[in-house]
Amino acid sequence: MECENYISKIKQLEKENRILQKKLERSEIDRAKLENTNRNKESLLKQVICGLQEYQVILEKKSDDLETTLKDLSLTQHQLVEVKKMAALGALVAGVAHEINTPVGTSITLASTLADATHSLLKLVASGNLKKSSLSRYLEIASEVSSLILSNLRRAGELVHSFKQVAVDQSSSEKRDFKVKEYIEEVILSISPQLKYSLCKVFITGNDLTHIYSYPGALAQVITNLVNNSITHAYLPNKTGDINIDIQQNGEQVIIQYSDDGIGIDQQIFDRIFEPFFTTAREKGGTGLGLHITYNLVTQKLQGSIKCESEVNKGTIFILTLPSSITS
């Protein structure tokens, strides 16, 4: 009986041993699988880390490339602004030179007429044949010619004064205190040759005493760009137009409202007018930089803001809000 019990226990132990052996085998298999999985995970992790490192190197390079590109774009923008400024200055020089030529040429002709009349009078005096009628005629000529010479030379003097001030301001970056309306009048006078051929008239209204401590050259370029923009885009060929510039003081701000009565801006392109190189008049020589430079000058150099309002066939308004004094 005891033998049978031992045999039964041995069988039971053998059975349990087989079960444990199978469990051990499964555990070994699971352990091997786990080790293999861990190795795969470790390998995958290394690949991910290597990939991330490669991406980091690529991103750093792209970041450096982007920074270089931004610097190049900034330099290019600065150069374009300078080119535009010098082109405007060159056009200003050519226009003023042409405009001054008229009163100066007229004055030379009048002076020659007066010299001839004076020479004739001297001959009569020397011969003793001077008559009262001859003297009266000479005095009439001298009076009329002197008045015309003075008027023409004053006109030339005004152009030279305006050109000198505006040209100096546009070629320098100095701040100074100046009366806004008076200075804008000088700017408009300096570009009057361009206006003459455009059939546009400019009317300047507002407070004569409003002054500002800012960059006059930047403001001159803004006004010039706005006028050129109106001439190029707002009016059809051979169409007359009125441009109005109003200056008002509002506390510590100066409000300059520029408006024309041209064809206005189509709403489909309205949101793009300040974009660089965007123009609807490339066939007329438009570069698409005028309003872009204007926006940058107003918002950065003059530390103000510019807003545009327009309606097709009812004209366009630009509202410039500038601080009455800038600190940098």
Contacts with 267 (C-beta within 8 Å, 6 or more apart), sequence order: 312
Q: Is the pLDDT of residue 304 over 90?
A: yes
Indicate the residue type of 137.
R
Among 30-44, 136-150, 260-274, name the one with the lowest average pLDDT: 30-44
Nearest-angstrom CA–CA distance, 177 and 168: 15
Extended strands (E) in 172-229: 176-179, 200-206, 211-214
Q: H or E element: which one contains 115?
A: helix 2-127
- What Rg do the C-alpha atoms of the chain give, in angstroms? 42
DSSP state of 283: G
Provide the whole-model pTM.
Answer: 0.55
H, E, C per residue of 227-240:
HHHHHHHHCCCCCC
**What value does the mean pLDDT take over residues 210-233?**
89
pLDDT on residue 246: 96
**Block residue for tokens 């309205």:** 270
- The mean-pLDDT minimum among 11-15, 73-77, 210-214 falls in 73-77
d(CA 278, CA 48): 45
pLDDT of residue 280: 59
Is 261 or 8 the better-scoring residue by pLDDT? 261
pLDDT > 80? residue 123: yes
CB of 166 closer than 8 Å to CB of 189? no
